[in-house]
Structure 1
Amino acid sequence: MPSAAPEEVFSAAELDVADELGVQLVRFMRLITKSKSQVAAAGPDGIERAAYAILFHLIHEGPQRTSRLAEALHAEISTISRQSSSLVQHGLVERQADPEDGRACLLAPTTEGLRVFEENRKQRNKWLAAVLADWPEKDRQSLNELLDRLNTGIETNIPKVADPMSAQGKGADA
């Protein structure tokens, strides 16, 4: 059995900075959720805001099976099926035969889906421009660079979920 890597040791100052970042990230997520719910409350299209994540993913990653979307969006297949059905009913997404397996289908954005996505993107960009309107250009650029660095760091350091069976085995050996 491979041995576990030694736990990294961080200084109190590093942990304090990480704690403050954690507080700010939680605050940020709450504010984003609040602003999304405000947009959703005003939206007349009847589409769940979460369904737009499917449309976004399809536009950026290409046609996908429901199972792959669920994996990529960390959601249950039943949730993705329900949300994608709504997108299909509204003409934003279409089902296509999977060229690798004719029994399966892929979800793909329609021309209307692309139009709606771009409209939502323009609205988001106007809102963010208003949020940053009084920031100096250098600060806006720094924010983008630092967020990119943070996102890259998170992508490369996603915590591994412990296997409950291996945890039980460790208890028996101790």
Structure 2
Amino acid sequence: MPAQLPHSDDAPHGSTDQVAAQLVRLVRLTARAKSRMTKVGPDSVERAAYAILFHLIDRGPQRTSQLAEMLHSDISTISRQSSTLVDHGLVERLADPGDRRASLLAATSEGRRVFETNRERLNHWLEWVLDEWSDEDRLAVNVLLRRLNDRIETCDPLAAPPRPEHEHSTDEV
């Protein structure tokens, strides 16, 4: 008989299993909300392309290779999505001053306007979600999420240290 996985609700609240379950739930719910808000924007741009627009607004003009690295995506995917953004006038290609053979992608004023409109809609929704939270709770979740995100960015899941022997699952009878 195969081993039965414990239900995450049965795990202690501070356990790794409980944190993982809540993270999966958060990602799923956030993706659902984002999908409903920007399924295909009013400008017919797929929502995945908005991540490119965000990074260009947040970090300034960048090469496609930089965007692919930051977004953990293939260059071909970033190229396709950025071409759509260029076609819709949200992003433009500029000559790279450091290498005239290369180009940089930069947000246009229309791209900034569309991004700001989406940001305002998201913030309005989040304000409603958090309307019963105290300032202290909002600060605490922001600090903890920033700390978690910073750590996730620096810990490659493929380079995780080996688990101690006593933690390996066994098929005991």
Deviation at 1:159, TM superposition (A): 2.7
Deviation at 1:157, TM superposition (A): 2.4
Query: Identity of counterpart residues, as a percentage?
Result: 60
How many residue pairs get matched? 150
Distance 2:60 2:39 in 1: 29
1:103-143 deviation per Cα after TM superposition (whole angstroms, max 9, x unaligned): 11110011111111111111111111000011122211211
**Aligned residues: CA RMSD:** 2.1
Distance 1:62 1:32 in 2: 26
Distance 1:44 1:116 in 2: 9
TM-score by length of 2: 0.79
Deviation at 1:45, TM superposition (A): 1.5
Aligned to 1:112: 110
Residues 93-112 of structure 1 correspond to what in structure 2 (within 5 A)? 93-112=91-110
Change (3 A) 1:54 1:98: same
Deviation at 1:15, TM superposition (A): 10
1:75-122 deviation per Cα after TM superposition (whole angstroms, max 9, x unaligned): 111111111011111111100001111111110011111111111111
Deviation at 1:160, TM superposition (A): 4.0
Distance 2:70 2:109 in 1: 23
Secondary structure at the counterpart of residue 107 of structure 1: strand
Any stretches of 5+ residues in structure 1 without a counterpart? 1-12, 163-174
The structure carrying a bigger helix percent of its residues is: 1
Amino acid at match of 1:131: V
- Superposition misfits of 4+ residues, deviation over 4 angstroms: 13-16
Distance 1:137 1:47 in 2: 35
Aligned to 2:22: 24
Amino acid at match of 1:50: A
Distance 1:47 1:139 in 2: 35
Any stretches of 5+ residues in structure 2 without a counterpart? 1-10, 161-173
1:20-65 deviation per Cα after TM superposition (whole angstroms, max 9, x unaligned): 0000000111111111221233632210111010011111111111
